[in-house]
Amino acid sequence: MKMHETDWDERMQKFLDGELDAADVRALLEAAQRDVVLAAKLNAMKSVHQYLGRSVLESPSAGFTQRMMARLEHLPHTVRHAPRNGLLLLMGVLVAFTVLILILGHEALPGGTLRMDTSRLPLPDVNIQLTVNLKWVINGLILVNLALGFLVLDRTVLRPFFERRAGGSVY
């Protein structure tokens, strides 16, 4: 009768935990005498079982759970960002947005493109010519700036306003 490997594993674990009756213990030990692999696995499981049996589990101090549960009521429900810092970030976003719009609007860019030629650099066998449309770069920076601005606006102005208005946590 050939048993599946997981059946042997379960049976050996029950043997080590002392949950097998005498007939099953005899059958397991006889099978381990006949099968070298099963015997090696049983010895390995015995070693692990003995090692774990010697280790001491740490437990929390008396009343730990009750103290922690009592403190949960006093903890803040949400993490609040300092409004002053958020407003400063929002002003920085607005300044950067304004500068980028002015650069884009006044055609302050030389031809609107940036050409990079590495043939003049002292690099052996490297010749890269790259042309970048600076208007697209500025437009990308404006979009990123707007996204950051809306995020900061939400975190520092809108969320606290609506939380105060609702009388608690909205989110």
Determine what percent of the chain is predicted with pLDDT higher than 70. Answer: 72
Separation in Å, CA 152 to CA 29, 76, 94, 164: 69, 21, 11, 18
Cα dihedral sign, 87-89-95-101: negative
Host H or E run for residue 85:
helix 83-105
Cβ atoms of 151 and 89 closer than 8 Å:
no
Residues 116-161: tens digit of each pLDDT: 666 666 666 666 666 777 778 778 888 888 888 888 888 777 877 7
Q: CA 6 to CA 69: how far, in whole Å?
A: 41
CA-based nearest residue to 118, from 103, 130, 110: 130
170 pLDDT higher than 60: no
The amino acid sitting at 140 is G
Cβ atoms of 131 and 113 closer than 8 Å:
yes
Q: What is the DSSP letter of 121?
A: S
54 pLDDT higher than 90: no
| Domain residue ranges of the chain, discontinuous segments joined by + | 5-54, 83-166
Host H or E run for residue 116:
strand 113-117
Q: Please enumerate in sequence order all residues whose Cβ is within 8 A of that of 125, keeping only pairs 6 or more positions apart, or say none.
A: none
Tokens read off for 133: 């449309």
Mean pLDDT of the residues in the chain: 78
Residues 88-123: tens digit of each pLDDT: 877 888 888 788 777 766 665 556 666 666 666 666
Tokens read off for 58: 């740490």
Q: Please enumerate in sequence order all residues whose Cβ is within 8 A of that of 85, keeping only pairs 6 or more positions apart, or say none.
A: 156
pTM over 0.85: no
Determine what percent of the chain is predicted with pLDDT higher than 90. Answer: 12
57 pLDDT higher than 50: yes
Helix axes 36-54, 5-17, angle to 10 degrees: 40
- Indicate the pLDDT class of residue 1, thresholds 50, 70 and 90: very low
